A and B are shown apart, each in its own frame.
Chain A
């Protein structure tokens, strides 16, 4: 009995290297499946041959398969992977920033600002021409940046961002902005507008195009590398600001930079996919239970697992119902909440 309890305390820590390799292989398989499956099924071999032709610069074989694969499904699968990876990374970083393993980047109000920007664009018709293209994303990103500036102004004190102050400022400003968003939704002119607003608010990858991929394709890897370089500083923050200072970390500067990087990345992600719930909260938490809290392992594993999770979820969203597509945020909530409860229960049960 005692030995069992002791064994439970010794974290079931899988070595991170092999785990990352397994996740990477699973991600490639999931991406292939995501492109192959759908209303028109395409053989996995055909998927890769089309991708290969495109990448090697050969003339694409004319036909609908090429169109479906290259113009519709590949960008969408890659967007799912990028957004999932980004959410995993940004969740990990925000949890260290506010020193709470159950924090969520949306807690800091950035996503509410992005949503307000996007909904304003849809309802008020700003940038109406490409309302579902870059105009919408641009409005969302502008909303995110404006909110970031507002939360920064309120939360800063002596240049630093105390965790509680940051969370309170973020929550208050976020609620304030979502009040505006709700008002705008009520003002929406017709059912079609309301529908597209709701779909966007719940998070969706249906707007994926090659153009839309460009910004997250740069932002997610850059943010991951930036954070990885500061992984020891993030570890030290977990123990407390004074401990981190004693280890030679400039805590004020690290917090300021972390808040900026996580806000910009959150803004980018929400701008291209809406506020997808739960992934940024659950992915780092689940990964922490498997590989532990050291950010040098946690950041890359969270990125890979986030990417895998969102690619799989998007397959479910596209194929679960015959007549319509499910918003991806609905499925992440339905899957994520019970999974998180299970993980928490297992951990609290192991006597912490």
Chain B
């Protein structure tokens, strides 16, 4: 299922954080959102999974305005993995994953065989089937994130929305999680802090800056030295990754772009 964001503006805590953003996430592709802190990535994603309401513009799921669906209806299409980690309420791994069935259940209804199969499959997909009876809060950060992803899978969504899913994970767990996402081949909208991870895992990237999308395209088209300087304020060279051939951004960690002795040429970034 395709998702289109049209001229979207969102205010959060009285401040306009997303201002007129446009983007499309195509069926079966991993679409990445990158941008500096405060550029509006999380706010935009929160609007897609309906934690926030847009002040203007709209979000279209396969051409239908999100606001024409009830919250439960859209939760059957869009599953979210926010940056929340839950609190200690003695829930087991299986119970957390079973929450993914919430949008399909009426009041008082229990889980039937089909629900249990879906939950078991989701746990198998993330490699956590063996841990189903453990307490969620007893898991490591990487395990928790996989369980939360299984919770999103159990929602049987057409679209996955992930907000910084690799935050706080060590490098091996980051690689595991991103490999899992690629293997799933679902329509995915993901915000990522790590530009090199975004370059190797996303089919298309959208760069947010000041609440608007300032560049869109493949990672190679978007992640240029000029954009690094203009949007992120850093000096960087873009080379080919010696192992994967993906674009590899080599940052200058010593000097910010505006203090560098030889200024990087300020071309406008590629529009796509």
Contacts and interface: CB of A to CB of B under 8 A. Distances in A.
Contacts of B50: 245-246, 248
Contacts of B83: 242
A246 B107 contact: no
Contact of A246 (B49, B73, B92, B110): B49
B71 A250 contact: yes
Nearest to A242: B82
A251 B51 CA distance: 8
6 contacts: A95-B89, A241-B51, A243-B80, A246-B50, A248-B70, A293-B90
Contact of B96 (A239, A245, A296): A239
A69 B75 CA distance: 55
Contact of B102 (A10, A236, A293): A236
3 tightest A-B CB contacts, nearest first: A248-B75, A240-B84, A246-B80
Contact of A294 (B73, B91, B100, B107): B91
Given A11-B90, A238-B86, 8 more contacts: A10-B134, A96-B89, A232-B99, A242-B49, A246-B49, A246-B75, A248-B103, A293-B91
Q: Which of B74, B85, B138, B161 has the most CB of A within 10 A?
A: B138
Interface in B58-104: 70-76, 78-80, 82-92, 95-96, 99-100, 102-103
Contacts of B134: 6, 9-10
B95 A246 contact: no
B87 A246 contact: no
Contacts of A13: 92, 133
A247 interface: yes
A252 to B, nearest CB: 10
B92 A352 contact: no
Nearest to A163: B87
A35 to B, nearest CB: 34
Contacts of B100: 247
Contact of A101 (B84, B88, B99, B110): B88
A238 B89 contact: yes
A256 interface: no
Interface in B18-38: none
B90 A288 contact: yes
Interface of B: 46, 49-51, 70-76, 78-80, 82-92, 95-96, 99-100, 102-103, 105, 107-108, 110, 133-135, 137-138, 155, 161
A312 to B, nearest CB: 24
B32 to A, nearest CB: 19
Contacts of B107: 228-230
Nearest to B48: A246
> What size tier do the contact residues of chain A reach?
35 or more
Contacts of B90: 11, 101, 288-289, 292-293
A228 B92 CA distance: 20
Contacts of A240: 82, 84-87
Interface in A71-120: 95-96, 99-101
B80 A236 contact: no
A193 interface: no
Nearest to A288: B90
Interface string A19-60: 000000000000000000000000000000000000000000
A242 B80 contact: yes
Contact of B84 (A6, A232, A239, A251): A239
Contacts of A245: 46, 49-51, 71, 80
Contacts of A293: 89-91, 95
A100 to B, nearest CB: 7
A249 interface: yes
Interface string A278-294: 00000000001100111
Contacts of B88: 101, 352
Contacts of A351: 138
A235 interface: yes
A26 B59 CA distance: 55
Contacts of A289: 90
Nearest to B100: A247
B246 to A, nearest CB: 30
A99 B87 contact: yes
Interface string A116-133: 000000000000000000
B14 to A, nearest CB: 9
Contacts of B72: 248
A232 B105 contact: yes
